[in-house]
C-alpha cells in the first residue's frame, strides 16, 4: 500500500538525523526521469526542516539505446556525470548528495567521495523505504560482522543444492552498508543491510548452483529450474542447465565483454526487514530489488566489475544473484549456516 507524505517526511528526517545533517549544510538532490516524485518532494521538505540549504540537479538519462532493460543497474556504462565538470564541482561542494537517480560504479562518484562529500542512494519505492528505515542497531550488526570479514583470507560457500565455492580474500576492502551516511566521504544505500567484498583477482574456484526459487538481478525473476555456474581462476567458464541458463548466457554474451564473466562482489544479507518474497509483488520497473539483495541470510554473489572497491576491472554487465540456504564460512568458521546468520560468530 502507498505511504503518506507525513510518513515519508518522518522517514527522511530519521535518515538525515542518522546521517548527521546540520543546520547550514549544503544538500544537493540528484534526480532524473525515473525519480519518484513523492521521494523527491518529501526529501526536500525534510532537508529544509533541518535548516540546511537544498538544491536539485536534474540530469538526462544515458545508455538507454545500449541497455536491454530500463533497470538502472542493467548497464553500467557512462553516467550523466561523465564529462559534466560543472555538476561534478557542485557535488564536491555539497555536504550530502541525495542520489535519487542511481549513480553507481563510476569514477566520477569516487572523485566526489574523495572530497568528503557524503552520498546516499535512495531509489526504491517510498513504501519500501518506509518499511526499512535504517537504525543504529543495523549499523552495529553490520560493523560487528565487518570486523570478522576483514580478518578472513578464505571464504567457503556450500549449499544442499550443490554449491561448493572457495574465494581467496584480502586484496580488496570489505564494504558494509547500513542505510545512512554518518562519516565524511561515505557512500551508502537506503534501504540496505549487508556486507560484501571482492575476491582476489583470479581467486574464485568451484561450482555455484543457482537453485529453483533463487533470484536473478537485473532480470528480477525467480528461477524455475537450476543453473550451474563453474568458476575457474575468478571467471565463470561455463553456465549450464535448461532454457533459463541459455537466457542468462545470451544476456551476458550480448555485452561482448569477457569481463562480464568475472567474479565481482561476494557477501551476505543482514536485513531482517527485507523480504525475498516481495520481488514477485512489484512491477519489474518499479524496484531495483533491494529486498532480494539484503534479506537476512542470503549469500549474494555478483558477476562483472570490481572498480567500486578500487579494482581496475570495468564492464557494463553486472549480475547480482542472491542464493538461499547457503552455509558461508570465513577461515573455517561458519558465519551463515543453511541461510541463517550466526550472530554469535561476530561477538
Grid cell, residue 308, equals 567500486
Taking the C-alpha atoms of residue 12 and residue 15, their distance in angstroms, rounded to an integer, is 5
The band of 316, judged by pLDDT with boundaries at 50, 70 and 90, is confident
Write the CATH number of the domain with boundaries 5-131: 3.40.50.2300
Q: What is the reported pLDDT for 67?
A: 67
The domain segmentation of the chain, as residue ranges, is 5-131, 136-346
Neighbours of 182 (CB within 10 A): 15
pLDDT attached to residue 79: 81
Q: pLDDT band at 62, cuts 50/70/90?
A: confident
What would the pLDDT profile of 148-201 be if each residue is shown by its tens digit? 999 999 999 999 999 999 999 999 999 999 999 999 999 999 999 999 999 999
φ/ψ bin of 331: left (φ > 0), alpha (ψ from -120 to 50), beta (otherwise): left
Q: What pTM, to 2 d.p., does this model score?
A: 0.94
**2, pLDDT greater than 80:** yes
pLDDT tens column, 67-121:
677 777 666 767 888 899 999 999 999 999 999 998 876 788 889 999 999 999 9
Per-residue pLDDT band for 27 (boundaries 50, 70, 90) equals: very high
Please answer whether residues 62 and 80 qualify as being in contact, where contact means their C-beta atoms are separated by less than 8 angstroms. yes
Show the cell assigned to 210. Answer: 543457482
- The rounded Cα 152 to chain-centroid distance in angstroms is 22
Amino acid at each position: 500500500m502507498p505511504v503518506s507524505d507525513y510518513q515519508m517526511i518522518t522517514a527522511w528526517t530519521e535518515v538525515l538525523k542518522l546521517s548527521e545533517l546540520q543546520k547550514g549544510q549544503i544538500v544537493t538532490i540528484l534526480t532524473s526521469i525515473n525519480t519518484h516524485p513523492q521521494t523527491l518532494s518529501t526529501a526536500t521538505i525534510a532537508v529544509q526542516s533541518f535548516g540546511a540549504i537544498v538544491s536539485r540537479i536534474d540530469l538526462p538519462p544515458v545508455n538507454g539505446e545500449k541497455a536491454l532493460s530500463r533497470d538502472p543497474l542493467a548497464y553500467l556504462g557512462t553516467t550523466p556525470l561523465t564529462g559534466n565538470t560543472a555538476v561534478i564541482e557542485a557535488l564536491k561542494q555539497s555536504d550530502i548528495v541525495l542520489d535519487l537517480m542511481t549513480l553507481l560504479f563510476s569514477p566520477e562518484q569516487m572523485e566526489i567521495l574523495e572530497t568528503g562529500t557524503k552520498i546516499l542512494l535512495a531509489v526504491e519505492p517510498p513504501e519500501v523505504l518506509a518499511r526499512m528505515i535504517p537504525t543504529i542497531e543495523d549499523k552495529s550488526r553490520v560493523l560487528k560482522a565487518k570486523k570478522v570479514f576483514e580478518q578472513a583470507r578464505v571464504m567457503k560457500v556450500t549449499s544442499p543444492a550443490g554449491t561448493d565455492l572457495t574465494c581467496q580474500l584480502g586484496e580488496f576492502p570489505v564494504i558494509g552498508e547500513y542505510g545512512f551516511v554518518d562519516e565524511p566521504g561515505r557512500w551508502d544505500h537506503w534501504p540496505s543491510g549487508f556486507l560484501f567484498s571482492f575476491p582476489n583477482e583470479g581467486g574464485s574456484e568451484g561450482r555455484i548452483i543457482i537453485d529453483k526459487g533463487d533470484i536473478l538481478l537485473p532480470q528480477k525473476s525467480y528461477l524455475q529450474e537450476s543453473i550451474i555456474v563453474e568458476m575457474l581462476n575468478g571467471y565463470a567458464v561455463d553456465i549450464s542447465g535448461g532454457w533459463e541458463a541459455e537466457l542468462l548466457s545470451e544476456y551476458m554474451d550480448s555485452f561482448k565483454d569477457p569481463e562480464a564473466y568475472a567474479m565481482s562482489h561476494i557477501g551476505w544479507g543482514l536485513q531482517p526487514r527485507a523480504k525475498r518474497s516481495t520481488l514477485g509483488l512489484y512491477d519489474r520497473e518499479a524496484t531495483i530489488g533491494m529486498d532480494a539483495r539484503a534479506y537476512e541470510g542470503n549469500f549474494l554473489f555478483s558477476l562483472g566489475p570490481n572498480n567500486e572497491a578500487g579494482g581496475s576491472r570495468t564492464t557494463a554487465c553486472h549480475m547480482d544473484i542472491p542464493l538461499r540456504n547457503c552455509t558461508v564460512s570465513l577461515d573455517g568458521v561458519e558465519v551463515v549456516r543453511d541461510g541463517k546468520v550466526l550472530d554469535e560468530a561476530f561477538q
